[in-house]
Amino acid sequence: MTRESAVRVGLVYPELLGTYGDRGNAVVLVQRLARRGIDAELVEVRAGNRIPADLDVFLFGGGEDNPQGAAADGMRASAANIARARDNGAVVFAVCAGFQLIGTRYETGDGEQLDGLGLVDAHTAAVPGAARLIGEVVVEPDAPLPLLTGFENHSGRTTLGPGTRPLGRVRVGGGNGDGYDGVLAERVVGTYLHGPVLPRNPALADFLLQWVVRPLPALPSPLEEQLRAERLDVALAGPFGRWREKLHLARG
């Protein structure tokens, strides 16, 4: 299929939802298309602006509670545009706070209720006194994908509604807090994985892109796969792997 226009990759509210370098996810998607000779552009949607309906990919990243609340207001104000774009084939990829906000609601540690977009049947609560989930994560996806690697830093516990699929089973880390991570729906992926996650997992990047561009030509990714293998090795080795990595870095 030949597209008549460039693929528009939307980075939504990067000043609010960009705590852990999730901008890198947008860069990776644009670059993986460009390396295949497919026109693509990165569209930044700044906070306070309406989210446009002509994006092909919506990227929502991570953020702290106050910025997350501001982002939630803007996302709800643009809900109709996002819904229209999805009806036209757009893809949504949401990380951490972004993942929480594409669900039905998010409850802060102070008990404040934030209404989400309701794109998926999921609600999240920051449980007072519960241990914060921090560290490397490995997820075995419920999709034709290899093991996913990333890191998490959040206090949310996410519950999926009946019949709602997680992105995958957690092998290492916390994820949603119930042995699974994220959500997988029609042209929607949510996850707690930072990293940024798409530079670490090129197959996941292409999984998103194939919903937009079909057929999606193969693209050798030796450096990206090397990074993925290294992060998996550290995470799967547990505390010993992290000690070995620190020792290696200290030695230069």
The catalytic site residues sit at: 96, 194
Whole-number Å distance between alpha carbons of 17 and 249: 30
Length of the chain: 252
Cα–Cα dist 50/223, whole Å: 37
Q: Residue 145, class by beta-carbon neighbours within 10 Å (0-12 exposed, 13-18 middle, 19+ buried)? A: middle
User: Tokens 């090795």 identify what position?
Assistant: 233
For 21, the 3-state DSSP assignment is coil
Beta strands (DSSP E) in the chain are 7-12, 40-45, 57-60, 91-95, 105-107, 113-115, 122-126, 133-141, 148-154, 156-160, 168-172, 180-181, 183-185, 188-191
Is the omega angle on the peptide bond into residue 199 within 30 degrees of 0, that is, cis? Answer: no
Percentages helix, strand, coil for the chain, rounded to the nearest 5? Answer: 30, 25, 40
Task: Please say whether the beta carbons of 114 and 72 come within 8 A.
Answer: yes
HSE toward the beta carbon, residue 72, CA cutoff 13 A: 24
Residue 175 vs residues 6, 90, 100: alpha-carbon distances, Å: 34, 25, 12
